[in-house]
Structure 1
Amino acid sequence: MASADKFHEIFWCRPHHISNVCPAKIQKVHLHEGEWGTSGSVIQWHYNIDGNDHVAKEIVEAIDEENKSVTFKVIEGDLMKEYKSFRIIVQAIPKGDATYVHWTLEYEKLNKDVLAPIKILGFVVHVSEDIDDHLVQA
């Protein structure tokens, strides 16, 4: 299991490396504004779920080094077709020799017919596993 510090660092400072870690899931990560590792930066993700390509442009809303969390607010892309707002918080929590990765998806649906983002949740779990495997080998 990778350390919480290493896991947090990849989302905080090096999200563009995630496309190298799990290229079948995340094809590209581009910096549109700001600098890697800083709040207020704008990042665009190109990802694939169930064989379908998607795009999400996000603002790095908050970086909490002490609690090892990063908050991303989606501002454009495919998620905005179904949700009024969508925020993703990823936190790496050290527990002895283990690391727990806590994902929080905060969203508001455009209407009651929109499904909960269960596929997104499954996707981030698999991305976490790929990142952990990569960091353990590094």
Structure 2
Amino acid sequence: MGLCGKRVAQVDIKCNADVFLGLFRYRPNNLSKIAPDHILGCQLVEGEWGAIGSKVIWNYKIDGKLLSSKQVLEAADEKNKSITYTPLEGDAMLQIYKSLKAHIHFTENGENNFVTWTLEYEKINEDVPDPDALIDLAYKVTKVVELHLLK
């Protein structure tokens, strides 16, 4: 078992990938209204919404625990429909990793649209669990957002 790893969740969605990308890049603060059981808030603390280098504080819930993470929007590619967030500081779960990066990639193929979440991470030691709870949260939020956008 290595210290570096990757977790991937590909979620089939029925809504427009551009709308999805716009929400996660430019309006993540709306996610707390759409998925309040999972996302409690997203506050801009530096820069402008959607700008590379902007920093936000996410408040979210995993397994009933209230958690928080300050993240930077590290990369965004409108053409390839992808964004990357990197945590800077936050809850105890994020502090057990030397590095953690979340890539969100949107693909459209006719009626088949997908959101692919990829978490790349490096643990501080072998005893640290893989970030399965985070990838599960990403899956759940994606499905809730999809239902909201289809209304």
TM-score (norm 1): 0.96
Tell me how far apart the structure 1 counterparts of residues 101 and 33 of structure 2 sit (CA, whole Å).
24
Tell me if 1:89 matches 2:129: no
What SS is found at the alignment partner of 2:52? coil
Percent of aligned pairs sharing the same letter: 39
In structure 1, the partner of 2:127 is 113
C-alpha contact (below 8 Å) 1:5/1:68 kept by paired residues: yes
- The number of aligned residues is 137
In structure 2, the partner of 1:19 is 32
Structure 2's unaligned 5+ residue stretches are 1-13
In structure 2, the partner of 1:49 is 62
Runs of 4+ in 1 over 4 A off after TM superposition: none
In structure 2, the partner of 1:128 is 142
In structure 1, the partner of 2:41 is 28
Structure 1's unaligned 5+ residue stretches are none
C-alpha contact (below 8 Å) 1:69/1:90 kept by paired residues: yes
Q: CA deviation at 1:130?
A: 0.5
Tell me how far apart the structure 2 counterparts of residues 92 and 80 of structure 1 sit (CA, whole Å).
25
CA RMSD across the alignment: 0.8
What SS is found at the alignment partner of 2:40? strand
What SS is found at the alignment partner of 2:107? strand
Tell me how far apart the structure 2 counterparts of residues 67 and 12 of structure 1 sit (CA, whole Å).
13
C-alpha contact (below 8 Å) 1:3/1:98 kept by paired residues: no
The Cα offsets for residues 76-111 of structure 1, whole Å up to 9 and x where unpaired, read as 002332101110011111111121000010111011
